[in-house]
Chain A
Amino acid sequence: MTGDEFGERRRGGEARCGAKPAQRQRSVEFKDSIGKELRHLYDDVVAQPVPDRFLKLLNQLETNVLSSPATTCGTRKSE
């Protein structure tokens, strides 16, 4: 199918720099409406600010690690 034009741009490890995960260049880009809808759906969420609960969680995990370096698995809540 020739409708699936995409540039094969490998960007290995680039996401680790982490400054702008939303701006990661896509290796494969579908230019049809499905591709657009998917990117729209996805990028909408990527553009949202990181909710406080996650920042708090990471601070908590960090504190736990510093006080007991063995493991943090115990912090996982059971349902």
Chain B
Amino acid sequence: MTASGAHTAGQGLKTELISAIPSLRAFAVSICGNSDRADDLVQETLVKAWGSLASFSEGTNLTAWLFTILRNIYYSEFRKRRREAPDPDGAMAARLVAPESQHAHMDFLDFRDALQKLPLDQREALILVAASGMSYEEAAEICGCAPGTMKSRVNRARNRLSELMSAPPAAERREWSSAEQLTEASRD
């Protein structure tokens, strides 16, 4: 399949893109913890993917390719936000915790709160492997790390999640200021 195949392959790829959207949305919302933002991420991903369909090699995993694009967008937004709102302690930079997610959806289940408190690298590892069903190898490829690293991130994420979920009630945590939350998040 060549780049000029974009015309003829367009229809088929469109159908495939559509069938990948549910997984893409699930990945996005699990990773950012906010459904509106998740759908914006999905939208950007689809636009970007469509623009670079020529670089997609037919026969490989379309969903994994889309996840990679979405992840890159999320990370670059994350870095951008960090530049715009400097973090004096470096706590956020160190832990890569999405700062606004705790405030945006206070009605979220405790589990979701806990998930959003995980460092981003651990959170995405856990979501890719334990929720989306990727193998360690596939997840490692998406995140650009070794399968062994992926495995240890998943393990650390699970341990941290168990700790977080057996921690003091969520109501108590919600009264903390954002700065305190970040400090807390960095102290594991």
Could you name 11 residue pairs across A and B whose Cβ atoms are closer than 8 Å?
A16-B16, A16-B60, A30-B130, A34-B130, A43-B26, A50-B18, A50-B21, A51-B39, A57-B43, A58-B50, A75-B47
Supposing A25-B133, A26-B133, A76-B44 touch, asked if A54 and B18 sit within 8 A by C-beta, the answer is yes
Q: Are B47 and A15 neighbours in the complex by a CB distance under 8 Å?
A: no
Residue of A with least CB distance to B161: A34
Q: Are B132 and A42 neighbours in the complex by a CB distance under 8 Å?
A: yes
Binding site secondary structure of chain B: helix
Which of under 10, 10 to 19, 20 to 34, or 35 or more describes the interface residues of A?
A: 35 or more
Q: Are B22 and A22 neighbours in the complex by a CB distance under 8 Å?
A: yes
Which chain B residues border A72 with CB–CB below 8 Å? 47, 50-51
Q: How far is the CA of A61 from the CA of B53 in the complex (A)?
A: 12
Q: Are B135 and A71 neighbours in the complex by a CB distance under 8 Å?
A: no
Q: Are A41 and B131 neighbours in the complex by a CB distance under 8 Å?
A: yes
Q: Does B14 contact A (CB under 8 A)?
A: yes
Q: Are A54 and B23 neighbours in the complex by a CB distance under 8 Å?
A: no
Total number of B residues with any Cβ neighbor in A under 8 Å = 52
**Residues of chain B from 26 to 59 with CB closer than 8 A to chain A in the complex:** 26-27, 29-30, 39, 42-44, 46-48, 50-51, 59
Which chain B residues border A22 with CB–CB below 8 Å? 22-23
Q: How far is the CA of A12 from the CA of B18 in the complex (A)?
A: 20
Which chain B residues border A25 with CB–CB below 8 Å? 133
Residue of A with least CB distance to B80: A79
- 7 smallest A-B Cβ distances: which pairs? A18-B19, A26-B133, A27-B135, A42-B131, A45-B26, A15-B63, A38-B131
Which chain B residues border A51 with CB–CB below 8 Å? 39
Q: Does A2 contact B (CB under 8 A)?
A: no
Which chain B residues border A15 with CB–CB below 8 Å? 20, 23, 61-64
Q: What 4 additional pairs, Cβ within 8 angstroms, besides A58-B14, A72-B51? A: A15-B61, A19-B19, A27-B129, A27-B135
Which chain B residues border A12 with CB–CB below 8 Å? 61
Which chain A residues border B156 with CB–CB below 8 Å? none
**Residues of chain A from 55 to 79 with CB closer than 8 A to chain B in the complex:** 55, 57-58, 61-62, 65-66, 69, 71-73, 75-76
Which chain B residues border A73 with CB–CB below 8 Å? 47-48, 51
Q: Are A42 and B16 neighbours in the complex by a CB distance under 8 Å?
A: no
Supposing A45-B22, A46-B26 touch, asked if A76 and B133 sit within 8 A by C-beta, the answer is no
Q: Does B96 contact A (CB under 8 A)?
A: no
